[in-house]
Amino acid sequence: MKDLQRYITNIRNHYLNIYLDAIAGFTQQHPQAEVEALANVPAIEGLPEIFRWRRFDLVNQSAQPPQIANFNPETHVNFAPISVTWQKKMKVRFEPIAWNDVGFECTGLNMNKSQLAHWGERWMDPKNTRPVDNHGLGGRVHALTFPSKKVNRLEFFVDFGSAPVQAFQELLQVLMLADTKKVRIRTARLKVHEEAEQTQV
């Protein structure tokens, strides 16, 4: 379990350092740029409102139309997949991820019991109640998709943005409490390290 937390922390720190460099470069060119700008985007009718919101990395509001800048780091933290049991109940396979594009493939997830929407409201902060730092970051998730059926699993994606490691850990707890038996966490476009998989209890 310690390795899982360590990897999550390293991945988040790696991403955030690159994001901060991007903010510095963009705001130097566009002093009025908005960081983590909130917008309502098209989504399937009938979904909870939180799945219609997203935060863009950077937006130059002075341009018409506004100039949106979302970035994808070219480098990532690589490691051999690890398997752990979360709270002695939920099996987790953790593969290399990009902090802004994390896929969760869940077996057994019961959406009738799920608090996923509440988790999204807490960490996406659509009412802008969280304090921001001097970079304009509020420790917020940038996007959350509604789970869709994939064979015998439900799959959804999260852009964790500037959210802390705590948000990731709380999401695992949300999944476990919604009867998820197994979850595979990965970014499909990233290659898995060649070393043997690590298994932890």
pLDDT digits (tens, 9 = 90+) for 92-107: 999 999 999 999 999 9
Backbone angles phi, psi at 84, to 5 degrees: -135, 165
Q: Do the Cβ atoms of 86 and 171 come closer than 8 Å? A: no
Residue 97 identity (one-letter amino acid): I
Q: Do the Cβ atoms of 70 and 159 come closer than 8 Å? A: no
Pairing of strands 34-40, 53-60: antiparallel
Q: Do the Cβ atoms of 109 and 91 come closer than 8 Å? A: no
Q: Is the pLDDT reported for residue 194 higher than 60?
A: no
d(CA 113, CA 99) in angstroms, rounded, equals 26
Write down the pLDDT at residue 44: 72
How many domains, in total, are found in the chain?
1
Residue 162 belongs to what domain range?
A: 2-199
Q: Do the Cβ atoms of 155 and 105 come closer than 8 Å? A: yes
Residue 131 identity (one-letter amino acid): P
CA torsion sign for 152, 199, 76, 135 is positive
- Average pLDDT across the chain, whole number: 92
Each residue's pLDDT tens digit, 132-191: 999 999 999 999 999 999 889 999 999 999 999 999 999 999 999 999 999 999 999 998
Residues 6+ apart with CB under 8 A from 201: 84, 85
| Tokens (6 digits) for 82 | 């690890």
In angstroms, the Cα distances linking 115 to 71, 110, 143, 185 are 29, 10, 16, 18
- Residues facing 58 on adjacent strands: 35, 69
Write down the pLDDT at residue 192: 75
